[in-house]
């Protein structure tokens, strides 16, 4: 309750078409005030959104309505002239006061009479701390300000860190600063009487920095006090007049510079003016470009919702294409497997090329929210990428997801750029998660292009909330080898699969051989995957050639399951080496458990991999595996266990055999070792591999891990 005659706090709020926010703000103010004696003064700058609702709901509030918008500084001064309390609290209408705010900040001011202004900890709507305590602006502040694009791309740069003093605070102790944000500040009446009120030449913006500087010049301290907190949705009022507010921002910025640098030379003043003008033009162009998009709505109470009232988390999941392979299977499981009571998923996919197999059949009509962007393709094209970014930006405006989760490199680049742009334009905070199923940093392009992609990925990773690696080896590569992001930003979530078809593959025993016309005694060695350069099929065929020469009496067939751009060339490669009698190209086979049922050995000869799906499927199907030591393959194979084959060109591990890339002789020797190995040793390894994938790669574990991650990113903000 507010006790008349006992007021010692005047709370001043300036409103301009933010009445919806203000009503919630007032609820939070009264809840935090308790029995504190205070007067609430609302100065309304000619709002047209039924501001009379304030009096209808809070009749004790003093509401003054101006006939026109006289600006923030002038409206504050109106209220200051009417108030007499020893403390004045300025509060934006799009704020939400947290518990014990008034008790904490007034007690702090009572104990520190030398402080003229104190600013609390201000939180964004997503719970992150705003840079509300700052040093006085410099010429570089416009480029590396709190919400600038460069700061979002390079959040830890030294220029921003020097300007945003909030980052230096330990979150407990107060800290003297140059100035604090006028979104919420407590001001001592004696300091106001000493220094004066706001400079009304500042229509909007920078009046708080000017006031704090005048306070400091007069000997009063300006302090950041983090033990009192409010939530502030940035721009609740200014978003109503985006272009006008930006003009006011830049005009006030120049006024601040000119006022506090009266002796600056003329060329410097002209330089600052020109720089601010071009910055305004850039922002204005962006605003005009995106006026067609609906401005996202925001409700402050959402950030402090109880667990029982949690709304669904909306996920926008993107993948470049649903071609045959692990990423498509992974995306299918997550799109259809998340708990529908807690999550809603919109899937965005691109187009596959003619040579690739299509796995969109997995969904079988399950896609209630599926958007196909035809220009989202694997090919590198700046023009198409810009069009993709534009399309995804429109989808973000339409669906307003909580999380954008990207899969594969092309979708990862375009969708994350769209989110960064969206967050910048609308000052939102859509969380970004990217899964590295593999990477394109090695084996795909020449050294120059690979280095370029590494640097691009490093930049985008700065604006990514969480990066998912699908194996421990991949996490080490991303953090330590390529320095994409620090290890604490990379979470390991291993792949998950519906393993049941492979665990029961034995029921198809003999069917694949019968289809190929191969007898039961023929050794069947298979390689499964796309026929593309990164899979390095030439090494597989070279090893097959060496194996046949070393074992001429062996009845063996090498089966190639898959298709792709290099099929014709690989068939020619086999004919050139007279391997065509021993090699069968099968194309894509949808029911691959049918293949595993009859394979004696699965081979993989890739130059680069994440966590190969074919190896996991083979292990679940009780098929021995030999592969090159790349990506996450070592994690699948386990530790070395047999020293007797040291220096033979291959390594026997707990769950399979590995060899170096481009080492066809070693690969051939590894094949021979598997063929000749003692039966009980081989069966023990097969059993270990089967048990391992069942425990580590079940789909239920994957879904639980990802749901937990989303929950931590969204629901745990205010725990």
Q: Token digits for 569?
A: 């060339």
Q: How far is CA 308 from CA 8, 342, 666, 692, in A?
A: 38, 12, 59, 38
Give CA–CA dist 140/177, Å, rounded.
Answer: 19
Q: Do domains 9-237 and 501-697 have the same CATH topology?
A: no
The mean pLDDT value for 29-35 works out to 87
Q: Could you read off the pLDDT of 380-421 as tens digits, one per residue?
A: 777 788 889 989 999 999 999 999 999 988 899 999 999 988
Which pLDDT score is estimated for 351? 82
pLDDT at 272 exceeding the cut of 90? no
Rounded-to-integer distance, Cα 404 and Cα 643, Å: 47
Tens of pLDDT, residue by residue over 137-153, are 775 555 555 555 555 55
Collapsing DSSP states into helix, strand and coil, what is residue 503? helix
**Tokens describing residue 322:** 């649903």
% of residues, the chain, pLDDT over 90: 54
Higher-scoring residue by pLDDT: 204, 691: 691
3-state secondary structure labels for all residues of 431-459: EEEEEECCCCCCCCCCHHHHHHHHHHHHH
Q: What are phi and psi of 545, to 5 degrees?
A: -60, -45
User: Which superfamily does CATH assign the domain made up of 9-237 to?
Assistant: Spore Coat Polysaccharide Biosynthesis Protein SpsA; Chain A (3.90.550.10)
Domain 501-697 -> CATH class = alpha beta
The mean pLDDT value for 190-219 works out to: 92
Kindly report the CATH class assigned to 312-492: alpha beta
Mean pLDDT of the chain: 85
Q: What is the DSSP letter of 477?
A: I
Q: d(Cα 219, Cα 350) in Å, to the nearest integer? A: 62
Summarize the confidence of residues 680-694 as an average pLDDT: 95
Q: Which residue shows structure tokens 């304030």? A: 54
Tell me whether residue 480 is exposed, middle or buried, using C-beta atoms within 10 angstroms of its C-beta: 0 to 12, 13 to 18, 19 or more: exposed
Which of 1-15, 49-63, 491-505 is least confident? Answer: 1-15
Identify the DSSP state of 686. Answer: H
Contact 627, 604 (CB under 8 A): yes
Look at residue 611 in the predicted model and tell me its pLDDT.
82
What backbone torsions phi and psi does residue 176 show, to the nearest 5 degrees?
-75, 135
Mean pLDDT throughout 28-41? 88
DSSP H or E stretch at residue 570: helix 567-576
Residue 257's pLDDT is 82
Domains of the chain, residue spans = 9-237, 312-492, 501-697
């Amino acid at each position: 309750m507010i006790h008349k005659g006992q007021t010692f706090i005047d709370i001043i709020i300036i409103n301009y078409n933010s009445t919806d926010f203000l009503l919630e703000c007032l609820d939070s103010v009264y809840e935090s005030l308790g029995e504190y004696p205070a007067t609430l003064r609302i100065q309304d700058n000619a709002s047209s959104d039924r501001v009379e609702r304030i009096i209808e709901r809070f009749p004790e509030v003093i509401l003054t309505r101006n006939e026109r918008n006289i600006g923030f500084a002038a409206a504050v001064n109106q209220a200051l002239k009417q108030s007499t309390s020893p403390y004045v609290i300025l509060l934006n209408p799009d704020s939400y006061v947290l518990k014990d705010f008034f008790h904490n900040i007034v007690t702090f001011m009572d104990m520190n009479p030398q402080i003229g202004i104190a600013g609390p900890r201000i939180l964004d709507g997503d719970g992150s701390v705003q840079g509300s305590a700052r040093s006085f602006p410099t010429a570089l502040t416009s480029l590396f300000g709190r919400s600038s694009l460069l700061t979002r791309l390079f959040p830890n740069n030294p220029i921003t860190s020097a300007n945003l003093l909030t980052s230096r605070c330990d979150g407990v102790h107060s800290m003297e600063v140059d100035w604090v944000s006028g979104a919420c500040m407590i001001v001592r009446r004696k300091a106001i009487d000493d220094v004066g009120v706001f400079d009304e030449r500042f229509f909007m913006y920078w009046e708080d920095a000017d006031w704090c500087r005048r306070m400091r010049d007069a000997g009063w301290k300006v302090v950041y006090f983090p033990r009192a907190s409010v939530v502030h949705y940035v721009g609740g009022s200014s978003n109503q007049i985006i272009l006008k507010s930006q003009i006011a921002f830049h005009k006030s910025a120049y006024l601040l510079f000119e006022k506090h640098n009266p002796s600056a030379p003329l060329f410097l003043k002209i330089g600052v003016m020109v720089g601010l003008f071009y910055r305004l033009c850039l922002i204005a162009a962006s605003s005009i470009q995106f006026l067609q998009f609906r401005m996202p709505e925001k409700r402050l109470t959402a950030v402090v919702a109880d667990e029982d009232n949690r709304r669904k988390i909306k996920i926008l999941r993107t993948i470049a294409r649903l071609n045959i392979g692990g990423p498509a299977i992974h995306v299918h499981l997550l799109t259809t497997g998340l708990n529908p009571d807690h999550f809603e998923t919109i899937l965005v996919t691109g187009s596959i090329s003619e040579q690739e197999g299509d796995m969109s059949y997995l969904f079988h009509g399950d896609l209630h929210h599926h958007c196909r962007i035809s220009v989202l393709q694997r090919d590198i094209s700046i023009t198409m990428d810009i069009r993709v970014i534009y399309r995804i930006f429109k989808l973000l405006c339409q669906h307003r997801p909580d999380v954008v989760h990207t899969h594969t490199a092309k979708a990862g680049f375009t969708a994350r750029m769209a989110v960064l742009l969206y967050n910048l334009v609308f000052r939102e905070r859509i969380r970004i998660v990217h899964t590295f199923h593999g990477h394109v940093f090695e084996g795909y392009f020449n050294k120059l292009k690979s280095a370029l992609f590494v640097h691009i990925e490093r930049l985008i990773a700065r604006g990514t909330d969480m990066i998912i690696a699908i194996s421990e080896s991949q996490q080490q590569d991303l953090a330590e080898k390529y320095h994409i992001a620090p290890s604490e930003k990379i979470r390991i979530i291993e792949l998950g699969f519906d393993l049941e078809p492979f665990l029961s593959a034995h029921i198809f025993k003999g069917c694949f051989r019968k289809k190929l016309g191969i007898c039961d005694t023929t050794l069947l060695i298979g390689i499964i995957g796309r026929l593309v350069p990164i899979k390095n099929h030439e090494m597989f065929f070279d090893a097959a050639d060496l194996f046949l020469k070393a074992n001429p009496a062996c009845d063996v067939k090498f089966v190639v399951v898959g298709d792709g751009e290099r099929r014709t060339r690989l068939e020619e490669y086999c004919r050139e080496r007279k391997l065509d009698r021993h090699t069968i190209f099968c194309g894509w086979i949808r029911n691959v458990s049918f293949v595993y049922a009859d394979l004696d050995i699965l081979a993989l000869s890739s130059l680069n991999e994440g966590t190969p799906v074919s190896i996991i499927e083979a292990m679940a199907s009780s098929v021995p595996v030999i592969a090159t030591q790349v990506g996450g393959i070592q994690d699948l194979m386990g530790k070395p266990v047999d020293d007797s084959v040291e220096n033979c060109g291959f390594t026997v591990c707990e769950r399979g055999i590995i060899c170096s890339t481009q080492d066809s002789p070693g690969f051939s020797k590894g094949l021979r070792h598997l063929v000749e190995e003692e039966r009980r040793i081989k069966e023990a390894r097969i059993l270990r591999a089967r048990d391992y994938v069942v425990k580590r790669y079940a789909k239920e574990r994957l879904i639980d891990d990802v749901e937990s991650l989303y929950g931590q990113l969204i629901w745990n903000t205010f725990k």
